[in-house]
C-alpha cells in the first residue's frame, strides 16, 4: 500500500471509497484441511511384530454459507489391520436461530463429556496418542459409549455457560454377530425404533485456556440390530429394546502456568430386558484422570489413568463382550510447529483382552501427527 502515500486525506479516501463501493466482507473460502498421523508401534508384549503403520486421515470441509448458516463435512480413511476403510464421520448443517443459539441437523460427535467434542479425530490436538479406551469410536472393540449422534441439535451460549440438547437415532447392537465383532451401531440413514436417544450437556468455561466444568446426560435406548438369531435365541426382533441406558457424566479441565489437569467420570446405568444378561439393573463407572506439565515451550509429558468397572452380570457389557480394565498411559509430546507434533506413548493396561483389540494391551507407540492446509 506504499503507492497510496502518506498524504492521503479523508476526502480522497471518501472518493476512493465511492469508487470501491459495493465491496462487502466475504467469509474465507470454504475451509478445507486434512488431519493425519503415521507411526510405529512396539507390540512385543502381545507377542507380535513391531510395525510401522498409517493412522487415520481425516479430510474436512467447512463453509460459512452466509452470516447465519454453516455446513461441515468430515470423512476419515483408516486401516482396519488389512485394508483401508472410509467412514463418514460428521456431516451437518447449522443455522443461528437467535442470539448465541444454533439449530442443526446431521451427524455430530455426541455431546457427552469433553474429549469426544474437543479432540474429534485429530491426534494432533491430543496430548496422548490414544483416546481413553472406553471413549473409543463405536467401531472399536473397547467402546462403551456412542460417540456419534445422528439427529437434531440445539446449542448455544449464555455468557460463559454453554448448553446443548440433541435428539438422535437409537443405538443398536447386532447380537447375532460373533461376540468379538459386536459394536455399537448408529444408523446414518435409518432408525430401527421409534424411540430416540436424548443428549443434554451444560458446561461453564472459566477462561479461554479451556478451563471448564461440564455435566452431561444421555438417555440411550439400545435396541436389537439383528434380523434373526439374536439374544435369547432370537426372542428380540429387530428394533426391540435390549437395554435402557442412562449416563450421567461430569468432566473438567484446568490449566495454569504450563500445568494441565483434566478428567471425565461417567456413571452408566443399564436396565436390561428379560433375556439380556441377568435381565436386571446395574450401575457401572468409567473415568479417566489426565495430568500434564509443559517442561519447555514445545515439550509436554502427560500421564493418564483410565478405569472401567462393571458387574459381571450386566447384560449390556456381556452382550457387547466388553471387559473391565484399568490403564496407565505415559506420553511425551514434542511440537515441531502448530501443524505437526510427535508423541511417544507407553500404555500399560490390565483387563482388556488383546485378542479382542490388538490396539490395546501393553504397547509403545511413536506417532507423528500433522495438519495439511
Partner 1 sequence: MGNALKHLIWPLLALLSSMAAASARAEVVVVGNLSMSADALSQEEVKEFYLGKLQRMGDGVAVEVIDLPDGNDTRDEFYLKAMGKTSNQIKAYWAKRVFTGKGAPLRTLPHDLAVMKWVAAKVGRIGYVDANVADDSVKVLLRLP
Contacts of 276 (CB under 8 A, 6+ apart): 231, 232, 236, 242, 243, 315, 316, 319
Residue 310 Cβ vs partner 1, minimum distance, rounded to whole Å? 31
Among 122, 132, 249, 277, binds partner 1 (CB under 8 A): 122
- 193 vs 195: CA distance, rounded Å: 5
338 is a contact residue toward partner 1 (CB under 8 A)? yes
Among 37, 70, 306, 314, binds partner 1 (CB under 8 A): 70
- 153 vs 192: CA distance, rounded Å: 20
Pairing mode of beta strands 171-173, 212-224: parallel
Residue 144, C-alpha cell as written in the block: 462403551
Question: Looking at beta carbons only, is 92 or 310 nearer to partner 1?
Answer: 92
Cell 460459512 appears where?
64
Among 41, 76, 113, 117, binds partner 1 (CB under 8 A): 117
For the segment 72-101, give every residue that binds partner 1 (CB under 8 A).
72, 74
For the segment 183-242, give every residue that binds partner 1 (CB under 8 A).
208
Q: Which residue stretch of 15-23, 49-57, 288-296, 346-354 sits at the interface with partner 1 (rule: CB under 8 A)?
A: 15-23
Q: Which residue stretch of 19-27, 186-194, 267-275, 285-293 sits at the interface with partner 1 (rule: CB under 8 A)?
A: 19-27
Question: Looking at beta carbons only, is 18 or 82 nearer to partner 1?
Answer: 18
N- to C-terminal Cα separation, the chain: 28
Cell 461441515 appears where?
72
- 286 vs 69: CA distance, rounded Å: 37
8 is a contact residue toward partner 1 (CB under 8 A)? yes
DSSP assignment of 273-329, as one string? Answer: PTTSTTS-EEEEEEEEEEEEE-SBTTEEEEEEEEEEE--TT-HHHHHHT---EEEEE
Size of the site for partner 1 (CB under 8 A): 40
Residue 46 Cβ vs partner 1, minimum distance, rounded to whole Å? 32
Q: Applying CB under 8 A, which residues contact partner 1? A: 1-2, 4-6, 8-10, 13-14, 16-17, 20, 23, 25-28, 31, 33, 35, 60, 62, 64, 70, 72, 74, 117-120, 122, 124-125, 208, 337-339, 371, 373
Amino acid at each position: 500500500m506504499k503507492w497510496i502515500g502518506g498524504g492521503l486525506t479523508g476526502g480522497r479516501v471518501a472518493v476512493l471509497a465511492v469508487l470501491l463501493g459495493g465491496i462487502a466482507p466475504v467469509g474465507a473460502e470454504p475451509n478445507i484441511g486434512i488431519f493425519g498421523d503415521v507411526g510405529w508401534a512396539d507390540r512385543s508384549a502381545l507377542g507380535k511384530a513391531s510395525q510401522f503403520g498409517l493412522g487415520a486421515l481425516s479430510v474436512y470441509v467447512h463453509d460459512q454459507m452466509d452470516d447465519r448458516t454453516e455446513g461441515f463435512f468430515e470423512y476419515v480413511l483408516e486401516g482396519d489391520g488389512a485394508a483401508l476403510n472410509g467412514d463418514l464421520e460428521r456431516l451437518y448443517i447449522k443455522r443461528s436461530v437467535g442470539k448465541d443459539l444454533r439449530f442443526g441437523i446431521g451427524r455430530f460427535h455426541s455431546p457427552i463429556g469433553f474429549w469426544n467434542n474437543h479432540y474429534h479425530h485429530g491426534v494432533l490436538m491430543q496430548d496422548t496418542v490414544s483416546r481413553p479406551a472406553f471413549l473409543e469410536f463405536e467401531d472399536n472393540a473397547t467402546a462403551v459409549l456412542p460417540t456419534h449422534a445422528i439427529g437434531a441439535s440445539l446449542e448455544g451460549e449464555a455468557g460463559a455457560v454453554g448448553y446443548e440438547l440433541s435428539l438422535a437415532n437409537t443405538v443398536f447392537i447386532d447380537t447375532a454377530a460373533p461376540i468379538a465383532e459386536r459394536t455399537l451401531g448408529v444408523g446414518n440413514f435409518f432408525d430401527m425404533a421409534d424411540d430416540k436417544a436424548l443428549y443434554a450437556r451444560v458446561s461453564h468455561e472459566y477462561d479461554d485456556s479451556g478451563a471448564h466444568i461440564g455435566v452431561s446426560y444421555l438417555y440411550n435406548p439400545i435396541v436389537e440390530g439383528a434380523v434373526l438369531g439374536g439374544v435369547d435365541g432370537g426372542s428380540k426382533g429387530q428394533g426391540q429394546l435390549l437395554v435402557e441406558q442412562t449416563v450421567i457424566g461430569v468432566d473438567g479441565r484446568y490449566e495454569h502456568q504450563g500445568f494441565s489437569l483434566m478428567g471425565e467420570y461417567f456413571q452408566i446405568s443399564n436396565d436390561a430386558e428379560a433375556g439380556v444378561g441377568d435381565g436386571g439393573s446395574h450401575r457401572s463407572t468409567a473415568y479417566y484422570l489426565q495430568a500434564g506439565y509443559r517442561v519447555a515451550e514445545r515439550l509436554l509429558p502427560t500421564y493418564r489413568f483410565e478405569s472401567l468397572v462393571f458387574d459381571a452380570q450386566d447384560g449390556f457389557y456381556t452382550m457387547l463382550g466388553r471387559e473391565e480394565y484399568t490403564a496407565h498411559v505415559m506420553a511425551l509430546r514434542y511440537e515441531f510447529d502448530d501443524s505437526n507434533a510427535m508423541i511417544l506413548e507407553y500404555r500399560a493396561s490390565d483387563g482388556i483382552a488383546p485378542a479382542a483389540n490388538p490396539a490395546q494391551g501393553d504397547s509403545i507407540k511413536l506417532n507423528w501427527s500433522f495438519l495439511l492446509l
